[in-house]
């Protein structure tokens, strides 16, 4: 009773209801909300504090910034999804707010474009060394669950490209990245309403800001070669993975392109199958078959492994010999 009354009181004010409606569409900072609502920062901050205390908004820290998003908790512990379903978005007030929200998205896109221009030559140079992205992504998609309702974690999400291609398949997709600049790019990539199930968060892959047993699939897409201790990173990745869940690592096979160390900060010049399988075993994972996509001069490998779970999952593991569907 008390929790329900607190939720109702929290939204029983026009600005707070507008904030909830906006944060139900995307995550926004205080300054972005101030711009959209045309209100002072102290006033907006007070409203945000009340909504967070009521459990209607979640708050995420990124460097000097804090972002807010409508809570994803379902009833009875959460009330935000139910309230959002009742909001009349065709009301003129909400329509004006959405128009201003689009201006915020356009500003994010401009910042992302500027960042792309600064780094395009570097990224394009690496792409030319390996098989085309579409072939890699097609092989990755084949390894995903074929059942509805699964949840995805992409570690080192970068531009958010993996979240973008996974979004139509997953119930929820979260990307973690240490670079604030890359998170700006990812938010721009995932700006459309078709990516409402996607989130990006600031965090270190060595110490993930996530609860245990909260995702069904974890991916590393061309990011593990930056890790000083890949085995520790993979062990940490198993913590938020549910029993029966899958880890997928997309990275390079061993190569001699030493300039990638000095010019692009690669810590590892690719990985062998034995290395990856040993690290999987150390993390308590059961390796599956490996896919190799030959390029010139870099070969992209896709390694996957299962986190043992209940008897049903164990049976699937025992019977899985190169199959891509695991549920």
Q: What is the pLDDT of residue 191?
A: 86
Distance CA 21, CA 94 (A): 8
SS3 (DSSP) at 276 = helix
Q: What is the pLDDT of residue 109?
A: 78
Q: What does the block give as tokens for 66?
A: 């804090």
pLDDT tens by residue, 26-71: 889 999 999 999 999 999 999 999 999 888 899 988 777 889 998 8
Query: What's domain 129-319's superfamily in CATH?
Result: Vaccinia Virus protein VP39 (3.40.50.150)
pLDDT tens by residue, 55-64: 889 998 877 7
Q: What does the block give as tokens for 74?
A: 């379902």
Residue 126's H or E segment, with its range, is helix 92-127
Does residue 76 have a pLDDT over 60?
Answer: no
pTM: 0.77
- Residue ranges of the chain assigned to CATH 1.10.10.10: 2-100
Q: What does the block give as tokens for 10?
A: 């929290």
Distance CA 75, CA 73 (A): 7
Characterize the bridge pairing of strands 215-221 and 151-155.
Answer: parallel
Nearest of 170, 57, 152, 160 to residue 116 by alpha carbon: 160
For the domain bounded by 2-100, which CATH number is listed? 1.10.10.10
């Amino acid at each position: 009773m008390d929790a329900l009354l607190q939720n109702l009181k929290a939204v029983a004010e026009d600005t707070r209801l507008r904030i909830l409606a906006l944060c139900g569409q995307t995550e926004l900072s205080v300054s972005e909300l101030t711009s959209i609502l045309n209100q002072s920062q102290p006033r907006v901050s007070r409203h945000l504090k009340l909504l967070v205390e009521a459990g209607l908004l979640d708050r995420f820290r990124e460097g000097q910034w804090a972002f807010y998003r409508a809570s994803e908790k379902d009833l009875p512990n959460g009330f935000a999804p139910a309230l959002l379903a009742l909001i009349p978005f065709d009301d003129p007030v909400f329509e004006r707010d959405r128009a201003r929200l689009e201006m915020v998205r356009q500003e994010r896109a401009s910042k992302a474009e500027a960042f792309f221009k600064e780094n395009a030559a570097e990224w394009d140079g690496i792409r030319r060394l390996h098989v085309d992205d579409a072939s890699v992504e097609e092989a990755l998609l084949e390894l995903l669950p074929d059942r509805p309702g699964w949840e995805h974690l992409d570690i080192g999400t970068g531009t958010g490209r993996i979240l973008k291609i996974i979004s139509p398949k997953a119930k929820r997709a979260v990307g973690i990245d240490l670079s604030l600049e890359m998170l700006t790019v990812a938010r721009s990539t995932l700006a459309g309403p078709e990516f409402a199930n996607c989130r990006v968060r600031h965090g270190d892959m060595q110490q993930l800001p996530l609860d245990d047993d909260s995702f069904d699939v974890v991916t590393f897409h061309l990011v593990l070669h930056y890790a000083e201790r890949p085995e520790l990173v993979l062990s940490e990745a198993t913590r938020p993975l549910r029993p029966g869940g899958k880890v997928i690592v997309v990275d390079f096979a061993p190569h001699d392109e030493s300039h990638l160390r000095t010019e692009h900060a690669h810590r590892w010049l690719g990985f062998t199958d034995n290395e990856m399988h040993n690290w999987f075993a150390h993390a308590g994972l059961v390796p599956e078959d490996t896919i190799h996509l030959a390029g010139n001069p870099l070969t992209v490998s896709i390694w996957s492994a299962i986190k043992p779970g209940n008897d049903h999952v164990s049976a699937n593991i025992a019977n899985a010999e190169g199959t891509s569907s695991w549920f």
